[in-house]
């Protein structure tokens, strides 16, 4: 273990996308062939998040996102998402089993996982596919990536459209199933449409504060306050572009401003982290993979009391997952 008294929950990583990219290079798209080696498990894993780094940093809950890139045509998106779910069950889940919500709010002995979908394109326009994703273990969905789809507009659509009629039905079905709606890449209007749906469980898995760093991927103060009111969760992310402007000068210490700002808005019990490991091109110096979490923990402990740091690193997220999922 890398840090004394350290526990960690991370709300977003793109390991499955990285595994899929390598399968795609090794083998044909839908072949049965698996890569020779399980890169998640290997001792010298090139991944930011690996079995070894999760163990080293005492990450006892890791959220794994399925991500289908924009260039895949609509007819191929479901297949790519299913391939990533298969990679999860072949390479990750045997070692990091899915979170069980029946054990109350306690730390489990084994590192656990949550399976999520980043971007609803793979579901197409069919609620039965949504229900099948649920049966395959997916418990959280971000409705969009950056662009528009059948559900809503993403955060980079300048027209800032909200949820479509189908998007509203989709979220209602997610609520019925007991799934978490991730608003991290959603347009602002889409956010307001989601939070107006009764009983919605809302999380921004990897977003920061727009007040500190003005970027459409970050949350406005009104959005932050609403997530707090709804008992939701915000995962502070390490992507330099969302941390500081200009991003080339972003440092680990700039994350503290985002934490302090949400704390100031009343978010003490709703703060958490969503690294975006394995999903970002640029990285913060000293916080480039899950092995670096103990040193980040030491930075946090230098500025904030342990009771607060523990809430942010694991307690809040654990409470949120255990209370949102069934
Ligand atoms: Zn993302």
Of 186, 163, 162, 183, the residue nearest 230 (C-alpha): 183
Mean pLDDT along residues 103-124: 89
Is 11:62 a contact under the CB 8 Å cutoff?
A: no
Rounded Cα gap, residues 162 and 233, in angstroms = 21
Q: 51 pLDDT exceeds 80?
A: yes
Is 41:49 a contact under the CB 8 Å cutoff?
A: no
DSSP reduced 3-state for 265: coil
Ligand 1 geometric centre to CA of 283 (Å): 14
Grade residue 107 by pLDDT with cuts at 50, 70 and 90. confident
Grade residue 170 by pLDDT with cuts at 50, 70 and 90. very high
Rounded Cα gap, residues 16 and 316, in angstroms = 25
Which listed CATH number (1.20.58.480, 3.20.20.140, 3.40.50.300, 1.10.260.40) goes with 8-324? Answer: 3.20.20.140
Ligand 1 geometric centre to CA of 67 (Å): 8
Ligand 1 geometric centre to CA of 206 (Å): 7
Ligand 1 geometric centre to CA of 118 (Å): 7
Ligand 1 geometric centre to CA of 4 (Å): 30
Mean pLDDT along residues 1-11: 77
User: 6 or 200: whose pLDDT is higher?
Assistant: 200
Angle 100-103-106 from CA coordinates, rounded to 5°: 105
Mean pLDDT along residues 7-34: 81
Ligand 1 geometric centre to CA of 276 (Å): 7
Angle 64-201-163 from CA coordinates, rounded to 5°: 90
Of 84, 115, 81, the residue nearest 97 (C-alpha): 115
Rounded mean pLDDT of the chain? Answer: 94
Least confident span in 79-93, 100-114, 141-155: 100-114
Ligand 1 geometric centre to CA of 141 (Å): 12
CB neighbour list of residue 260: distance below 8 Å, 6 or more residues apart? none
Q: 243 pLDDT exceeds 90?
A: yes
DSSP state of 122: G
pTM for the model stands at 0.95
User: Alpha carbon of 169 to those of 133, 139, 151: distances in Å?
Assistant: 16, 17, 9
Ligand 1 geometric centre to CA of 89 (Å): 22
| pLDDT for the residue numbered 33 | 57
Q: 139 pLDDT exceeds 90?
A: yes
Q: 249 pLDDT exceeds 90?
A: yes
With the C-alpha atoms ordered 38, 41, 46, 49, is the resulting torsion angle positive or negative? positive
Residue with tokens 């500081």: 244
């Amino acid at each position: 273990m890398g840090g004394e008294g350290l526990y960690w929950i991370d709300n977003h990583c793109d390991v499955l996308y990285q595994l899929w990219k390598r399968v795609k290079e090794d083998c044909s798209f839908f072949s049965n062939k698996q890569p020779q080696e399980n890169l998640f498990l290997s001792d010298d894993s090139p991944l930011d998040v690996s079995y070894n780094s999760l163990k080293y940093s005492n990450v006892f809950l890791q959220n794994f996102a399925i991500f289908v890139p924009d260039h895949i045509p609509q007819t191929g998106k479901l297949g790519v998402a299913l391939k990533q779910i298969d990679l999860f069950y072949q390479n990750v889940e045997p070692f990091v089993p899915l979170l069980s919500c029946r054990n109350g709010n306690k730390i489990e002995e084994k590192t656990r996982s949550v399976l999520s979908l980043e971007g609803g394109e793979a579901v197409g326009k069919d609620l039965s596919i949504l229900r099948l994703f649920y049966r395959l273990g997916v418990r959280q969905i971000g409705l969009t990536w950056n662009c528009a789809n059948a559900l809503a507009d993403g955060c980079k659509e300048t027209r800032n459209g909200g949820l479509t009629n189908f998007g509203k039905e989709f979220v209602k079905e997610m609520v019925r199933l007991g799934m978490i709606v991730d608003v991290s890449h959603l347009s602002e209007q889409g956010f307001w449409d989601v939070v107006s749906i009764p009983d919605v469980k809302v999380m921004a898995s990897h977003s920061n504060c727009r007040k500190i760093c003005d970027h459409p991927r970050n949350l406005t103060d009104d959005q932050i306050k609403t997530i707090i009111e709804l008992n939701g969760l915000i995962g502070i992310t390490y992507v330099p572009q969302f941390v500081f402007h200009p991003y080339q000068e972003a440092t680990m210490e700039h994350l503290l401003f985002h934490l302090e700002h949400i704390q100031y808005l009343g978010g003490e019990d709703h703060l958490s982290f969503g690294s975006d490991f394995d999903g970002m091109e640029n990285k913060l110096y000293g916080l480039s993979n899950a092995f670096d979490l103990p040193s980040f923990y030491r930075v946090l402990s230098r500025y904030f009391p342990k009771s607060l740091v523990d809430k942010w690193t694991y307690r809040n997220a654990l409470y949120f997952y255990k209370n949102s999922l069934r």
